[in-house]
Amino acid sequence: MTMQDTIAAISTALGEGGIAVIRVSGPQAVASVGGILRSKQKLTEAATHTVTYGHIIDAGSGEKIEEVLVTVMRGPRSFTAEDVVEIGVHGGLIAARKVLELALRQPGIRVAEPGEFTKRAFLNGRIDLAQAEAVIDLIRSKSDRSYSVALKQAEGTLSKRIGALRHSLIELLAHIEVNIDYPEHDVEEMTSSYIKDSCGAALDTIRRLLQTAAEGKILREGITTAIVGRPNVGKSSLLNALVQESKAIVTDIPGTTRDVIEEYVTLSGIPLRLLDTAGIRETTDVVEKIGVERSHSAVQEAELLLLVLNHNEPLHEDERELLGKLEGRQVIVIVNKTDLDGLLELDEVSSALPESRIVPMSVLQDQGLEDLEQAIRELFFEGQLESADLTYVSNARHISLLHRAADALHDAVSATEDGIPIDMVQLDVRAAWELLGEIVGDTAGESLIDQIFSQFCLGK
């Protein structure tokens, strides 16, 4: 990739819609689009952040291709900090593709790589790496809460916290450097105290950030949740009730669900990746047997298990075997069909899974869904989500780097207390500073940066 190139791509999702947008960025953006635009004024004369009405023309044939609105945003006041032109066309595959093809015929324009617009914003200093990663989270958000967390990170709330941390550590490093270069002026007790106080303050900040990590990761990625149980206990009915749509076939015939059905749902701001599994039982049916095997795999993958039992039936041997396998896992037991007579031995269930909450429900009569939502909140968020003003750490890469930085600072404090030479202590402090720099991209390697931006969609 060279920053001298001008790049272009369709930035809106492919398919039918009201409009589609072709984004062009780089030194030739305005001139190149101006070369295919017929309008009352030249695009090269358009002021920044203005919209020009016109038509895209195929210069070779003179054919009028599309009626468009063209927005000009001159650098550095643009997303990429370069000259950016966005061409608004009618939605659909054909119009956007034809306009993009004409733009790419202009000298010096090429197709953008995935994430290259955001990468240019990062390389041009408009955003840092943590903010760039938050752009992905904004696109992939599945709930209002996860969107809010991503938006705050995109605005730089986490970056500011990391920046303040790194500033305090660079001041500590400068103090250590002075004492290494001029040992005759060093007061050992004062330096040791300064190191322990500075590292301790940084550790407190990191610890507070990491306290939000579990919740932040859930808000970002969702909770992988498997609905498990024997056939005909109401698993598919529960899925349909949660997504408020008939996604799974519901019949009185056991074994209707023969594969894992996946859906996303948000309960009280908590995103769940729901897996409705085939009923777990012994079977000779070849297809159903494959479904049961996949159900067992889903049980292993899931972070949360919704075990559905029938209030109207005694425990079956298959269910007793399943209860034994779920010990120690995050399980909410749903006792469904409470509108029918109770034949289920709840004491046996409680004894097998003493840490699990039991939620009575009647999916058929729409009873108990609120209790289920509350049980999930209590299990993962201690009953409620934190304040919207809290800076969440949600990215697994950031969480790992914060843990490693904390370890390095612990090592610095321990080394100081053990009387290790100050130049050795300096290595641990510098390691923490560099690890925190990887979060915002200041010390990140080129290969890491390339890997992160390759996750973006084309046109972003």
List the CATH number of the domain containing 406. Answer: 1.20.120.430
In angstroms, the Cα distances linking 123 to 243, 325, 422, 450 are: 41, 50, 36, 11
Do residue 299 and residue 171 come from a single domain? no
**CATH number of the domain that residue 71 is part of:** 3.30.1360.120
Predicted pLDDT at 256: 45
Model confidence over 86-100: pLDDT tens digits? 999 998 889 999 999
Q: What angle do CA 240, 267, 159 make, to 5 degrees?
A: 140
Residues 196 and 159 in one domain: yes
Q: Does residue 237 sit within a domain?
A: no
pLDDT at 109: 93
62 and 187 in a single domain? The answer is: no
Does residue 452 fall inside a structural domain?
Answer: no
309 lies in some domain: yes
Would residue 449 count as lying in a domain? no
Last-in-domain residue among 93, 127, 161:
127
The predicted-structure confidence for 142-162, as pLDDT tens digits, reads as follows 777 788 888 888 889 999 999
- The reply to whether 75 and 168 lie within a common domain is no
Same structural domain for residues 43 and 122? yes
**450 domain residue, yes or no:** no
The CATH number given to whatever domain includes residue 336 is: 3.40.50.300
| Domains in the chain, number | 3
Q: Please indicate, yes or no, whether residues 159 and 252 belong to a single structural domain of this protein.
A: no
Look at residues 106, 127, 148 and tell me which one is the last residue of a structural domain: 127
**Burial readout 325-360 (b: 16 or more C-beta within 10 A, e: otherwise):** ebeebbbbbbbbbbeeeeebeeeebeebbeebbbbb
- Whether 456 maps to a domain, the answer reads no
42 occurs within a structural domain? yes
Which of residues 82, 109, 127 is at a domain's end? 127
Residue 344 and residue 405 in one domain: no
Residue 187 and residue 88 share a domain: no
Q: How far apart are CA 456 and CA 413, in angstroms?
A: 40
Query: How far apart, in whole angstroms, are the C-alpha atoms of residue 319 and residue 317?
Result: 5
Per the structure, the complete domain to which residue 27 belongs is given by 6-127
- State residue 34's pLDDT score: 94
For residue 233, tell me if it sits in a domain. Answer: no
**Domain check: are 257 and 338 in the same one?**
yes
**Do residues 253 and 376 both lie within one domain?**
yes
**Coil, strand or helix at 209:** helix
Is residue 251 located within the same domain as residue 376? yes
Q: Are residues 367 and 290 in the same domain?
A: yes
The answer to whether 226 and 409 are in contact (CB under 8 A) is: no
**Closest to 376 in 3D by CA, of 392, 351, 391, 356:** 356
Per-residue pLDDT of the chain (460 residues; tens, 9 = 90+): 456 899 999 999 888 888 999 999 999 999 999 999 999 999 999 999 999 999 999 988 889 999 999 999 999 999 999 999 999 999 888 999 999 999 999 998 999 999 999 999 999 999 999 999 988 888 888 777 788 888 888 889 999 999 999 999 999 998 888 777 666 555 555 578 888 999 999 999 999 999 888 778 777 778 888 888 888 888 888 888 888 755 443 444 444 444 467 788 887 777 888 887 765 555 545 455 565 666 667 777 788 889 999 998 898 888 888 888 888 888 999 999 999 888 888 888 888 889 889 999 998 888 988 898 888 888 877 645 554 555 778 888 999 999 999 999 999 999 988 888 888 899 999 999 999 999 999 988 888 888 888 888 878 8
